[in-house]
A = this chain, B = another copy of it.
Amino acid sequence: MTRFTGIIPPLCTPLRDDFTIDVDSLRRHLDGQLAAGVHGVFVLGSSSEVAFLPDRQRRVVIETTVEHVAGRVPVLAGCIDMTTLRVAEHVRVAEEAGADALVVTAPYYTRTHSAEIEQHFRLLRSRSALPIFAYDIPMAVHTKLHREMVLRLASDGVLAGVKDSSGDEAGFSALLLARRDRGLTEFAVFTGSELVVDLALRIGADGAVPGLANVDPAAYVGIWDRVRAGDLDGARQEQERLLRLFTITHAAPPERMGRGSAGLGAFKAAMKMRGFIDNSVMAPPQLPLNDEELLSIKGTLTEAGLL
Interface of A with B (CB < 8 Å)? 19, 46, 51-55, 57, 80, 82-86, 88-89, 107-113, 115-117, 119-120, 123, 139-142, 167-170, 173-174, 177, 181, 193-196, 199, 202-203, 232, 236, 239-240, 243-244, 246, 254-261, 283-287
Contacts and interface: CB of A to CB of B under 8 A. Distances in A.
Contacts of A80: 109
Contacts of A89: 54-55
Given A51-B83, A52-B86, A123-B285, A257 B173 contact: no
Given A82-B51, A85-B52, A85-B284, A257 B116 contact: yes
A139 B113 contact: no
A110 to B, nearest CB: 4
Q: How many copies does the complex hold?
A: 4
B284 A119 contact: yes
The prevalent SS among residues of A at the interface is helix
Contact of A173 (B52, B57, B243, B258): B243
A110 B140 contact: yes
A181 to B, nearest CB: 8
Contacts of A258: 110-113, 116
Contacts of A86: 51-54
A80 B86 CA distance: 13
